[in-house]
Chain A
Amino acid sequence: MLTFIVRRLFAVVGLLLVVALVTMVIFYEMPQWGGQTPATMAVQYVGKQPSPAAIQGVIHRFGFDRSFPVQYIDYIRTIVTGTTFSDGTQDIACHAPCLGYSFRNYQQVWPTILSDLPVTLSIAVGAGVLWLFFGVASGLASAVRKGSLLDRASMVTALLGISLPVYFLAPLLSLPLAYRWSILPAPGSYVGILSDPGQWFLDMILPWTCLAFGLAALYTRLTRAGMLDVLSEDFVRTARAKGLSERRVIFKHALRAALTPIITIFGMDFATVLGGAVLVEITFSMKGIGFLAITSIQNGDFPMMMGVTLFAAAFIVLANLLVDVLYAVADPRVRL
């Protein structure tokens, strides 16, 4: 187990190095393939009347004047060891994990991401609970009562769920609930859980629902398919042959086996949401990681966007590792 984790941690680091490489290629090399030059890229970061010296300064600051491998190694080294940036007047210490410094809004990338994380965390945790619970519950009920009215209703709902994009569902729900009847706060309202837990909960209901609906639909389908598979397994028949009650057969034997792959997928999806629930955050104007990603892209804030992407990737690969370990714990056949 320990050697597995150690080995996998190496793989995680390797994977993050690849992600960093790809992100750097996207932001530093792609524009040049597309016909831009270091100067035209740099000029977006200087003031209104860029002097050649200023442009040169920015080129140097971003490292456009170095070869790509050198830039890449510098970037990785900076993450590990931290560095000191100069903003012209003074040196800014950027401690490890130093993901860089945004010259757009004069903020360090890492603290900015951390300060936006609570919003995304709020969305992810609440929605995660909702979609896992409702997805598994309705998928389970559907599978157990296959062909029943309940099954058909939940399958139709699930189909609607996977076909309704968040940015269409959100207005459909907000219009009556928030604007017409004022039952819930209008989209865009957000307070931290620490400052006002009650208001936080109310503010989060719509984002949670909108994000969870589509994913719950997916999980309903996954759970139902998984349960149907498991219910036809020999060991379920054995359990019944032993005279166990149906409830015990379903929950202790079938669900236990069907849930394991679901939890794996849940781990991945949850991690993806933690790396930024982009559509929900944009639709509800919530300043989380996904919102940060979009504004960074719109502002051409490359260091910020690279940091966000790397951060999101780290969540996903770590979740992957965690899920594999959990899988080994859940399934005695898996040996690490």
Chain B
Amino acid sequence: MTADRRGPTSANGSGERPFLDVSDLRVQFPTDDGVVKSVDGISFALERGKTLGIVGESGSGKSVTSLSLLGLHRRADRKGRGGARISGEIWLDGQDLVTASPEEVRRLRGEKMAMIFQDPLSAMHPFYTVGAQIIEAYRVHNKVSKSVARKRAIELLELVGIPQPNTRVDDFPHQFSGGMRQRAMIAMALVCNPRLLIADEPTTALDVTVQAQILDLMRDLQREFDSALILITHDLGVVAELADDIMVMYGGKAVEYGTAETVFRQPEHPYTWGLLGSMPRIDREVQERLSPIRGNPPSLINVPSGCAFHPRCPYTAETGGRSDTEIPLLAATSPGHLVRCHLGPARRQEIFAEQIRETL
């Protein structure tokens, strides 16, 4: 709403539009039981070479955000039925993707922007070889012969660290191990040198050692390709590794937005505190107890009135009832740090300093 649409680290001040500029994005799905407000007015910006981490529980709207960037939602018809109603603006490299025709967006997909999906086993077609799927991705956007595309596929597989890429290229996805599949998935996403890369929970399905390898790989590749990277995860540990900026989402809205440094060191939203509290940290010596956030994620049809977080927030009493009636604004506490909370900045910093920091 009042958010500065430039990201905390991309405030270049030159007046030029950032490479990716999302403004007041709303995504709603009409269903039989009511309208699901999956994304309810979020804004952010991202430059090439930078990484944005979007963090939240499942159902917070983070994946829907990424899919709408790629234009992968089936759009609603004129009566607003049968698909997603999308409003707001998504500017990618000077082009608005919300108003662009589906065909224009399709041409951008895979070429200018690509996505790495969560579960590579289900995200790859079981009936086609890994190579065929990468080749296909390349040839959609590049008019080259099959053999050239195949060479490119092998090259990419090698780049992502698949051993013996020229034989494994003909394997089917189920013949790969989980980590290798994720590498192949990344290779497929990178095959056209996309400038925007969205990774949706890229490491969730993997075991911890492989997770680290994949994160390293992504960091290296992002540098090599100079891409903008959006990292979507519920795992703050993953973001900590890679992200420059972090946006915390709750109930379809951004509740906290700032640089990674700020969000980790001076988080001000009670939800962020909860997320941090439930995060296991290897660098702590005494692991007392993880404190999970009590309660359930909100319904996106009947969003709780006022602050969507209020049914789960321990500090509602301090708002004098405003939290159940009034929706708080996303307001800047410091330059580049936005928080959506009824508590005043001073009080938030106080609570964090006195009660929260030590538990983390």
Closest to B121 in A: A234
Q: Tally of A-B residue pairs with Cβ under 8 A?
A: 75
Closest to A335 in B: B174
The answer on a CB contact under 8 Å between B127 and A332 is yes
What distance in Å separates the Cβ of A222 from its nearest Cβ neighbour in chain B?
A: 19
What distance in Å separates the Cβ of A186 from its nearest Cβ neighbour in chain B?
A: 47
The answer on a CB contact under 8 Å between B125 and A243 is no
Within 8 A of A (CB), among B258-281: none
The answer on a CB contact under 8 Å between A332 and B174 is yes
The answer on a CB contact under 8 Å between A332 and B172 is yes
The answer on a CB contact under 8 Å between B127 and A234 is no
- Does more than half of chain A's interface fall in helix, strand or loop, or is it mixed? helix
The answer on a CB contact under 8 Å between A242 and B137 is yes
Closest to A257 in B: B127
Q: How far is the CA of A55 from the CA of B122 in the complex (A)?
A: 69
The reply on A265 being an interface residue by CB < 8 A is: no
The reply on A228 being an interface residue by CB < 8 A is: no
Identify B115's interface contact among A241, A245, A331, CB under 8 A.
A241
Closest to B188 in A: A242
Size of B's binding interface in residues, CB under 8 A: 29
Q: How far is the CA of A241 from the CA of B113 in the complex (A)?
A: 9
The reply on A256 being an interface residue by CB < 8 A is: yes
With a cutoff of 8 Å between Cβ atoms, the chain A residues found around residue B118 in the complex are 234
The reply on B123 being an interface residue by CB < 8 A is: yes
With a cutoff of 8 Å between Cβ atoms, the chain A residues found around residue B119 in the complex are 234
Within 8 A of B (CB), among A227-258: 233-235, 237-246, 253, 256-257
The answer on a CB contact under 8 Å between A333 and B174 is yes
The answer on a CB contact under 8 Å between B126 and A234 is no
Q: What is the 8 Å Cβ interface bit string for chain A, positions 299-336, against chain B (1 contact, 0 not)?
A: 00000000000000000000000000000001111000
With a cutoff of 8 Å between Cβ atoms, the chain A residues found around residue B162 in the complex are none
The answer on a CB contact under 8 Å between A238 and B125 is yes
**A330 in contact with B110 given A234-B122, A237-B72 (CB within 8 Å):** no
Identify B127's interface contact among A147, A237, A238, A256, CB under 8 A.
A256
Q: How far is the CA of A318 from the CA of B238 in the complex (A)?
A: 54
The reply on A146 being an interface residue by CB < 8 A is: yes
The answer on a CB contact under 8 Å between A237 and B123 is yes
With a cutoff of 8 Å between Cβ atoms, the chain B residues found around residue A240 in the complex are 72, 106, 109
Within 8 A of A (CB), among B57-99: 67, 70, 72, 81-82
With a cutoff of 8 Å between Cβ atoms, the chain B residues found around residue A233 in the complex are 122
What distance in Å separates the Cβ of B307 from its nearest Cβ neighbour in chain A?
A: 33
The answer on a CB contact under 8 Å between B127 and A331 is yes
The list of the 8 closest CB pairs from A to B, nearest first, reads: A243-B110, A243-B109, A234-B122, A234-B123, A242-B137, A242-B110, A235-B125, A332-B172
New A-B pairs, 13, CB < 8 Å, besides A235-B126, A240-B72, A244-B136? A237-B72, A237-B117, A238-B115, A238-B117, A241-B117, A242-B188, A243-B137, A244-B140, A253-B125, A256-B125, A260-B127, A331-B126, A332-B172
Residues of chain B whose beta carbon lies under 8 Å from any beta carbon of chain A: 67, 70, 72, 81-82, 106-111, 114-115, 117-119, 122-127, 136-137, 140-141, 172, 174, 188
